[in-house]
Structure 1
Amino acid sequence: MSVETQETSEDGKEAAENEDQTSAPRSAEEGASDSEGGFTESPRNPAGLSRTPTFSETMSGTESSAPSPTVLLRVKKRVSKRSRPSFRSVGKLVQKMVRHMSLFSQLQSKETSTVGSSSPRESVVSTEDSGTQRNSVIFSGGKLPVPGLSGLRNHGNTCFMNAILQCLSNTDMLAEYFVLNQYKSDLSRIRRWRDSTRLKPVTRGEVTEDFAKILKALWSCQYTPKLTSDFKNTVAKYASQYSGYNQHDAFEFLLWLLDKVHEDLNCASKRGYKKAKLGHKKSSDEHLAAEAQANHQRCNSSFMYDLFQAQYRSSLTCPSCHRQSNTFDPYICISLPLPQRQTRAIYPAVVYHRRKPRNTRIGVSLHQDSSVGDLRKLIADKADIPLNQLVLTEIYFDGFQRSFSDDQPLSVVHDGDCIYAFEAPLEVTDLSCTNDDTPVPATSNSQDPEQEKLLLLVVNKTGAGKQGKRFGPPFALHVPRNLTFSDLQKVLLHSMADMTREGIRPQGSVRFQMRVVGGLAGKCYLTEDDNMCLYMPTVDKALSGCGSGGMEHVKLVLEWEQETKACLFGNTCEEKVEELDSVRQQRTMQQQPLNVTLSDCFRLHTKEEKLGPEDGWHCPFCKKVQHGTTKKLSLWSLPDILIIQLKRFKQVGMRRMKLYTSVDFPVSNLDMKPHVARRNPGNSGGLGLLTSWSPWRRHQHRTAARHPDYFYDLYAVCNHHGNMTGGHYTAFSKNPVDGRWYKFDDTKVLGVSDEDVQTSDAYILFYQSRSSRMGSLSSTSGSSTCSSLSDHWVNRIPNLLPRSDGSSHDDTSDTEDHGGFSGDSRPFVRSVHGMSASVRYPSSRSQELLSDGWDSGNYSDSEADKASNMTESRV
């Protein structure tokens, strides 16, 4: 389901052209690049909006002619400069109380008199509040576009960037800090300090300024693709890996962006850390944590770290004295491993020597920590083959690849590898008895126990080297090593008699090349120049690489010319492998969903682990290097905004793979208390330093550190779709204004339900603590009353204005061009190029909105079905 960017109607275009000819306002690009925050001087009205009615006109139902909003804005700015009331707080309180009481009474009367009415109301009031211009939005109708609902243009594989920007844009406190220019004071302070100390700026604040412009444009409904294009270029300027159009990891970009903005806004005056004190003897964890935080804050003090950062506690336990040493380090994100099945299913193909069918595939399951030797024993038991006669190897379309040793871990066998288990014959091939007309010379001592023998694993293929394709079933044979080149070819042809075409027997000398896998580089072919070709150095080299497990063997690839192959073997292709019931049973078991919760991931993350023998640790108590130390990681404190990465990308050897495990994470009421380290209630010293990472004024309302809030609510999710070779990023975000969930897919915006947020593609989770949300006086996204929503910081955006009736959709009856919506059923949401875009909400969604005044739109099931057919090609 998607939301397509729609073109404005012809009337809207004419209205915009007339407005450009008369008033000639600045373009969106010019406004977005304004150094003071990217807003235009006059309220931008790209959809041809009518004049905003005053509060008295709205309530009375009449409108009178009045100066334009631009004139009113300039006049009120001049008035605000001339007069500033002395009773600022008292006047503000009285006006607020009067306004709220009036609104409640009017809204209550409207509810009782217009139940079931479909006619929306809208009203925007511009009031003088202590000399400050403010736009107060009255949430009483369905007319205003919801702020923050704008798609972002994909500038060539920038979906990872768009998804992260949408998640950060819906971080309420972060958006307020940038959209209302609160970051300007920090940026100016650090610039003045650098000028006074003559320090050369590192980034000049360009990344932060461009990031702020995007947030302002999203929340003022003035986004243009030029903003994200400029942002991408600025990012590439300071991080060359993001230049061009390659795919990137969204989590890595998030870490880079947070660190870069922190670097721009870092107000710390020190640039060096103090030497850490050893407090393992008498100091409590509380004192150690406070000192570590103070030392870190000495060089790192910014709003970004204040919002996202907290502390880890790392504990090492000595295996000798059993005493514990603790250290404390900061973190801004938590990377959680995903629990996986403790068993693995492997499906090897078994190649029997004489049994029918000769090639079968079986399914076996064993523990993740098993070895290749364990796998070989299990296959031998299931296939009823003596263990000393079983050889494991790997075969692909071009021939043999690896052989395995018993001492190797099972992890060397990857999912999807083509594993073959050969039954090695004990008897040597009889050279004196063949069925063709050219008998193979008999070797009198072929069964002599003193004679050196060699096990050959053989496959056939057309073409040479890496070219061509394998055909026919693989097979194994035991031969004397003293065979000549000609005799070896005759033995191999005799072993393939059942593969040749009926009635066709090789006459004379049939030529094919024999390549030894794992032999000497450049000398891997057996030649007839050596009378005893199996004693060539390349054969010795191949034997040395067999390793332990099964009989020593040589992997031999017979390379045929296409004409000769067609004459002898016809259209023989790859072998047919018969699958036994064990394959189906194991696949059914593996397809059963693995129930994983977020708490399971946390428990795995904080699980004790024993360090390896190579990881020596100097115990501060024993004064000696200890091995076998136990390490445990735990959370010591929690931030306001908790970012959790689900580690879906796993490195296995030289390969990277994606884990599609579905994780059940709570949308609300995430309880972090079980995952935070327990503290000693008697040691309260230093707790005062743990209340905040920096003295930003918002945190004067935070809960005291001795009574922390462990509950968090989800507000954004970054998703990764696809696999390691190609993927796409989208985002789910909960709008802080209307409290609804939306899906952001580049330029497309779609309303979704709470249940739709939990998917197996979830990659990065964004949580906000209850204490930070409730402690903020200006962020009231959790409230449901009309008056409290009027206090949301979004109402202080200078040019957040309503639109006139009919500006949300094109006046045309062609529903296909509208993505399945027609007439008044299309809501208004700002999108790319400042055009309108359709947003559909699930029909099962409750219609009780937190905000009545934002344009949200309600659709029937039939309209939803039409909208579900919309598609958009991705840039």
Structure 2
Amino acid sequence: MSVETQETSEDGKDAAENDDQSSAPRSAEEGASDSEGGFTESPRNPAALSRTPTFSETASGTESSAPSPTVLLRTKKRVSKRSRPSFRSVGKLVQKMVRHMSLFSQLQSKETSTVGSSSPRESVVSTEDSGTQRNSLIFSGGKLPVPGLSGLRNHGNTCFMNAILQCLSNTDMLAEYFVLNQYKSDLSRIRRWRDSTRLKPVTRGEVTEDFAKILKALWSCQYTPKLTSDFKNTVAKYASQYSGYNQHDAFEFLLWLLDKVHEDLNCASKRGYKKAKFGHKKSDEHLAAEAQANHQRCNSSFMYDLFQAQYRSSLTCPSCRRQSNTFDPYICISLPLPQRQTRAIYPAVVYHRRKTRLTRIGVSLHQDSSVGDLRRLIADKADIPLNQVVLTEIYFDGFHRSFSDDQPLSVVHDGDCIYAFEAPLEVVDLSCIDDNTPDTDTPNSEDPEQEKLLLLLVNKTGAGKQGKRFGPPSALYLPRNLTFSDLQKVLLHSMADMTREGIRPQGSVRFQMRVVGGLAGKCYLTEDDNMCLYMPTVDKALSSCDSGGVEHLKLVLEWEQETKACLFGNTCEEKVEELDSVRQERTLQQQPLNVTLSDCFKLHTKEEKLGPEDGWHCPFCKKVQHGTTKKLSLWSLPDVLIIQLKRFKQVGMRRMKLYTSVDFPVSNLDMKPHVARRNPGNSGGLGLLTSWSPWRRHQHRTTARHPDFFYDLYAVCNHHGNMTGGHYTAFSKNPVDGRWYKFDDTKVLPVSDEDVQTSDAYILFYQSRSSRMGSLSSTSGSSTCSSLSDHWVNRIPNLPPRSDVSSHDDTSDTEDHGGFSSDSRPFVRSVHGMSASVRYPSSRSQELLSDGWDSGNYSDSEADKASNMTESRV
């Protein structure tokens, strides 16, 4: 009987006709799609190699346990009308027996009750469709695992990918479209059209197919790490930037993935846009409809239909005051984060002749200020005349940048080491230089006609970036016609307070003087040129000094380690004394900034004035205008609204992360204040025309007359860490049980609504309430507003009907839980067991879960190993 039963499950043609458990007939196209999606036993499907064995396989001799009555009765029906045995089917049976021998040995050690056990508390539910036997699931205690609650393996750097996949998996209508193979008809139609037109495909549908396999595996509880590994390789095949193990931005990957899947499913037959015609008397409704029709003739897919809507960009002419509107599509909204209007900067002030040579002060000024404003504020706080303040940037290896008054304050970044020098007004007294051999060429410092030069000095050991600075910076005002020898004597004399006790520097001590900002390759002062301060490299450095303070020359004095130790001992980098103003400013800056999502939208749609370099040709005046006013607004809203919070900011050559906490609603997000007002009298039925979609149900089209502006949050992608290293996680609301879960690679934990709002929120996923009425094929749409019996998840091929498991809810205390308590035992979802662990919900939360579904503690050895691995997190 085992051979004949196995043959029937392999061939499956006669069994499908007589099995009363088989589903309704489907097209051959859909039948083929199931095998590709990972639900059938197929050599092309790696997940099927580790699937749960069916009774026909256990009856062939691998398991000696007696089958349950239900399975035996079903098997007898198939055997009664089996087809004639063939050598091919017998050979396949032998191969399967060998393949599963090791697998069953592992099961016997882990499970006290196997699939073939006659225990009334366990049963195997197998669904057949078109003669193809599906993978079976083991359901302990009659409870189904909640679909969609599976973690994903981190393959080195794929946390950004895992977080996005979890958010998209919990997009209810998207998951229904792919899990129930409704995308297959679109994909097949595109392939036939491309074959007929000989148009070369972009990705050959590989990205879409692998993406669909992951969604099917998550919702049928059959995920294996090989699925995401194959998906990563496929993504890298068409986007080389995702190969290897570099860090990546989750939002950029989301845009890339949506675009690639759209390209695979794009049903539009046109590949060129019509040139828009300008019309003075056309209403906004008419222009929007034309723009959308023009876009849809080249872009028509389920992805764009679900995520896409329209912007309205308005330009107001400063001359005629007339407004020109254009309409463009969008699939995501990137919102800027409001920031403080003031900035705190903490410069170190280098005084010339005061008891405390170096102090740090705290100043605060407006974001739109200039460097000149900063210099004036420092002069006032430090009690230094404005014309004596020179700003520069100093790090451990010496001088870096200098600043000019007309530069914006944005060139000074947070964390920059800014030094404010007090420039001396009096020239250094050269008469103090006496080594008993007076130089007749020594200039007179009191000569009024002599050219003077301000020197800013730092000392360091070693050359280049390998050196390290020591001692405090200083400033000297010198005659420019000093000789090389006299210049070194003056510099040595100025450092007398740094030298060791009893050590008097002599003129024979040598050190190198490097000019910052001088000529490339000739940046050192040399003895070859007696008047070294007139060298061309000095002229080049002085020419780079912009307006702001006294003209100055920056010199880095480089010492050998032995000479430095002899003269200065263990002198290290200077100690900076901080004034009370530093503590006060830091306290003010650390106070939380209250930002709401509405504030972000207002900033995004704020009217702005274009700069003088942004000329615009006014269609009314027929000439280029400057000073145009621009305003961006939302014209329409999609079914699924994706919002990016722009936490990463580019400042010059640097990127920084904003940790501003944004208060966003978990439910009842009202988008009406952010949508442009329309004139109902000008629509003329265009709203119904532009809202029509072949993927939406008829009852949803009627809602275009009365759009619903309310949205509910269902997923959040989080970024933890900073720019140098971080990690991505996701919060998602399961459409089946309506509860929130945290997805951290392989780990899945239940969370509350309050836990979803964090300062790490990066991408928000909202679903329109009106879209629930337009689910692709569900009777009642989204599960959040309908009974679970109507949800599309009940039509997943591998999941049994809920009525089949309702009779198994009476789990007694004598049931064998495999060594676990009834509240914490693992829920076996597949033999190979690649699902992630989920904490068992509280008793109060468990009562809210509908009968037949269980969100128990899902764990397995492979997932535990993966969660304990040291992975490079993005």
**SS of structure 1 residue aligned to 2:34:** coil
2:99 and 2:738 mapped to 1: Cα distance? 24
Residue 508 (structure 1) shift: 4.1
Contact 1:370 1:410 in 2 (8 A): yes
CA deviation digits over 1:255-293, x for unaligned, max 9? 1111111111111122222221213334x1111111111
Q: Specify whether residues 176 and 569 from structure 1 end up closer, same or farther in structure 2 by C-alpha distance, changes over 3 A only.
A: same
Q: Could you tell me which residue of structure 1 aligns to residue 706 of structure 2? A: 707
Bigger mean CA offset, 719-728 vs 331-340: 719-728
2:3 and 2:873 mapped to 1: Cα distance? 13
Residue 870 (structure 1) shift: 12
1:208 and 1:678 mapped to 2: Cα distance? 38
Contact 2:142 2:809 in 1 (8 A): no
1:542 and 1:197 mapped to 2: Cα distance? 65
**SS of structure 1 residue aligned to 2:204:** coil
Q: Specify whether residues 213 and 103 from structure 1 end up closer, same or farther in structure 2 by C-alpha distance, changes over 3 A only.
A: closer
Contact 1:166 1:731 in 2 (8 A): yes
**SS of structure 1 residue aligned to 2:555:** strand
Contact 1:780 1:789 in 2 (8 A): no
2:742 and 2:775 mapped to 1: Cα distance? 26
Residue 465 (structure 1) shift: 2.1
Contact 2:498 2:568 in 1 (8 A): yes
1:562 and 1:108 mapped to 2: Cα distance? 71
Contact 1:484 1:533 in 2 (8 A): yes
2:815 and 2:118 mapped to 1: Cα distance? 25
Q: Specify whether residues 60 and 205 from structure 1 end up closer, same or farther in structure 2 by C-alpha distance, changes over 3 A only.
A: closer
Contact 2:359 2:577 in 1 (8 A): yes
Q: Could you tell me which residue of structure 1 aligns to residue 233 of structure 2? A: 233
Contact 1:391 1:424 in 2 (8 A): yes
Contact 1:4 1:747 in 2 (8 A): no
Contact 1:472 1:573 in 2 (8 A): yes
Q: Specify whether residues 863 and 91 from structure 1 end up closer, same or farther in structure 2 by C-alpha distance, changes over 3 A only.
A: closer
Contact 1:732 1:757 in 2 (8 A): yes
Q: Specify whether residues 346 and 436 from structure 1 end up closer, same or farther in structure 2 by C-alpha distance, changes over 3 A only.
A: farther
Contact 1:170 1:733 in 2 (8 A): yes
Residue 154 (structure 1) shift: 1.5
Q: Specify whether residues 235 and 4 from structure 1 end up closer, same or farther in structure 2 by C-alpha distance, changes over 3 A only.
A: farther
2:603 and 2:135 mapped to 1: Cα distance? 49
Identity of aligned residues (%): 95
**SS of structure 2 residue aligned to 1:874:** coil
**SS of structure 1 residue aligned to 2:74:** helix
1:51 and 1:556 mapped to 2: Cα distance? 73
Bigger mean CA offset, 473-482 vs 689-698: 689-698
Give 5+ residue unaligned stretches, structure 2.
none
Q: Could you tell me which residue of structure 2 aligns to residue 809 of structure 1? A: 808
**SS of structure 1 residue aligned to 2:378:** helix
Contact 1:313 1:328 in 2 (8 A): yes
Bigger mean CA offset, 843-852 vs 728-737: 843-852
Contact 1:617 1:625 in 2 (8 A): yes
Give 5+ residue unaligned stretches, structure 1.
none
CA deviation digits over 1:555-575, x for unaligned, max 9? 011111111100000000000
**SS of structure 1 residue aligned to 2:334:** strand
Contact 1:392 1:419 in 2 (8 A): yes
1:149 aligns with 2:170: no
Contact 1:124 1:802 in 2 (8 A): no
Q: Could you tell me which residue of structure 2 aligns to residue 574 of structure 1? A: 573
Q: Could you tell me which residue of structure 2 aligns to residue 98 of structure 1? A: 98
Residue 359 (structure 1) shift: 0.0
Q: Specify whether residues 422 and 504 from structure 1 end up closer, same or farther in structure 2 by C-alpha distance, changes over 3 A only.
A: same
CA deviation digits over 1:160-216, x for unaligned, max 9? 111111111111111111111111111111122222333232322111111111111
Q: Specify whether residues 83 and 714 from structure 1 end up closer, same or farther in structure 2 by C-alpha distance, changes over 3 A only.
A: farther
Bigger mean CA offset, 24-33 vs 828-837: 24-33
1:862 and 1:238 mapped to 2: Cα distance? 33
Contact 2:127 2:797 in 1 (8 A): no
Residue 802 (structure 1) shift: 9.9
Q: Specify whether residues 57 and 399 from structure 1 end up closer, same or farther in structure 2 by C-alpha distance, changes over 3 A only.
A: closer
**SS of structure 2 residue aligned to 1:808:** helix
Q: Specify whether residues 36 and 2 from structure 1 end up closer, same or farther in structure 2 by C-alpha distance, changes over 3 A only.
A: closer
Residue 337 (structure 1) shift: 0.8
1:376 and 1:92 mapped to 2: Cα distance? 84
**SS of structure 2 residue aligned to 1:30:** helix
Residue 141 (structure 1) shift: 7.9
Report 1 or 2 for greater relative contact order, CA contacts < 8 Å, sequence distance ≥ 6: 1
1:261 aligns with 2:261: yes
Q: Could you tell me which residue of structure 2 aligns to residue 297 of structure 1? A: 296
Residue 234 (structure 1) shift: 1.3
Bigger mean CA offset, 89-98 vs 135-144: 89-98
Q: Specify whether residues 703 and 802 from structure 1 end up closer, same or farther in structure 2 by C-alpha distance, changes over 3 A only.
A: closer
1:167 and 1:223 mapped to 2: Cα distance? 16
Q: Specify whether residues 137 and 690 from structure 1 end up closer, same or farther in structure 2 by C-alpha distance, changes over 3 A only.
A: farther
CA deviation digits over 1:373-424, x for unaligned, max 9? 0000000000000000000000000000111100111111111110000000
Q: Specify whether residues 258 and 114 from structure 1 end up closer, same or farther in structure 2 by C-alpha distance, changes over 3 A only.
A: closer
**SS of structure 1 residue aligned to 2:173:** helix
Q: Specify whether residues 357 and 197 from structure 1 end up closer, same or farther in structure 2 by C-alpha distance, changes over 3 A only.
A: same
Contact 2:713 2:766 in 1 (8 A): yes
Residue 467 (structure 1) shift: 2.0
Contact 1:432 1:440 in 2 (8 A): no
Residue 446 (structure 1) shift: 1.1
Q: Specify whether residues 580 and 506 from structure 1 end up closer, same or farther in structure 2 by C-alpha distance, changes over 3 A only.
A: same
**SS of structure 1 residue aligned to 2:126:** strand
CA deviation digits over 1:657-712, x for unaligned, max 9? 11111111111111110110000121122434455363214354344222101011
Q: Could you tell me which residue of structure 1 aligns to residue 191 of structure 2? A: 191
Bigger mean CA offset, 631-640 vs 236-245: 236-245
TM-score by length of 2: 0.83
Q: Specify whether residues 435 and 531 from structure 1 end up closer, same or farther in structure 2 by C-alpha distance, changes over 3 A only.
A: closer
**SS of structure 2 residue aligned to 1:223:** coil
Contact 2:17 2:131 in 1 (8 A): no
Q: Specify whether residues 433 and 143 from structure 1 end up closer, same or farther in structure 2 by C-alpha distance, changes over 3 A only.
A: same
CA deviation digits over 1:301-327, x for unaligned, max 9? 111111111111111100001000111
Contact 1:143 1:855 in 2 (8 A): yes
CA deviation digits over 1:326-346, x for unaligned, max 9? 111111111111111111110
CA deviation digits over 1:720-772, x for unaligned, max 9? 11222222111111111111111111111111111111111111111110011
CA deviation digits over 1:607-637, x for unaligned, max 9? 1111111111111111111011111111000
Q: Specify whether residues 831 and 756 from structure 1 end up closer, same or farther in structure 2 by C-alpha distance, changes over 3 A only.
A: farther
2:870 and 2:810 mapped to 1: Cα distance? 22
Contact 1:349 1:419 in 2 (8 A): yes
CA deviation digits over 1:214-241, x for unaligned, max 9? 1111111111111111111111121122
Residue 139 (structure 1) shift: 13
RMSD value over aligned CA atoms? 10.5
Q: Could you tell me which residue of structure 1 aligns to residue 18 of structure 2? A: 18
Contact 2:696 2:774 in 1 (8 A): no
2:121 and 2:284 mapped to 1: Cα distance? 58
Residue 864 (structure 1) shift: 19
Bigger mean CA offset, 69-78 vs 109-118: 109-118
Q: Specify whether residues 751 and 590 from structure 1 end up closer, same or farther in structure 2 by C-alpha distance, changes over 3 A only.
A: same
1:8 and 1:561 mapped to 2: Cα distance? 88
1:831 and 1:441 mapped to 2: Cα distance? 97
1:87 and 1:863 mapped to 2: Cα distance? 37
Q: Specify whether residues 767 and 804 from structure 1 end up closer, same or farther in structure 2 by C-alpha distance, changes over 3 A only.
A: closer
Contact 2:3 2:60 in 1 (8 A): no
1:724 and 1:588 mapped to 2: Cα distance? 24
2:14 and 2:383 mapped to 1: Cα distance? 83
2:97 and 2:63 mapped to 1: Cα distance? 26
Contact 1:815 1:822 in 2 (8 A): no
1:859 and 1:4 mapped to 2: Cα distance? 36
Q: Specify whether residues 227 and 357 from structure 1 end up closer, same or farther in structure 2 by C-alpha distance, changes over 3 A only.
A: same
2:748 and 2:6 mapped to 1: Cα distance? 12
Bigger mean CA offset, 806-815 vs 679-688: 806-815
Contact 2:3 2:93 in 1 (8 A): no
CA deviation digits over 1:524-576, x for unaligned, max 9? 11111212111111111111111100000000111111111000000000001
Q: Specify whether residues 689 and 813 from structure 1 end up closer, same or farther in structure 2 by C-alpha distance, changes over 3 A only.
A: closer
Q: Could you tell me which residue of structure 2 aligns to residue 757 of structure 1? A: 756
Bigger mean CA offset, 356-365 vs 98-107: 98-107
Q: Specify whether residues 536 and 498 from structure 1 end up closer, same or farther in structure 2 by C-alpha distance, changes over 3 A only.
A: same
Q: Specify whether residues 32 and 434 from structure 1 end up closer, same or farther in structure 2 by C-alpha distance, changes over 3 A only.
A: farther
Q: Specify whether residues 692 and 103 from structure 1 end up closer, same or farther in structure 2 by C-alpha distance, changes over 3 A only.
A: farther
Bigger mean CA offset, 541-550 vs 226-235: 226-235
Residue 775 (structure 1) shift: 3.6
How many residues are treated as equivalent by the alignment? 874
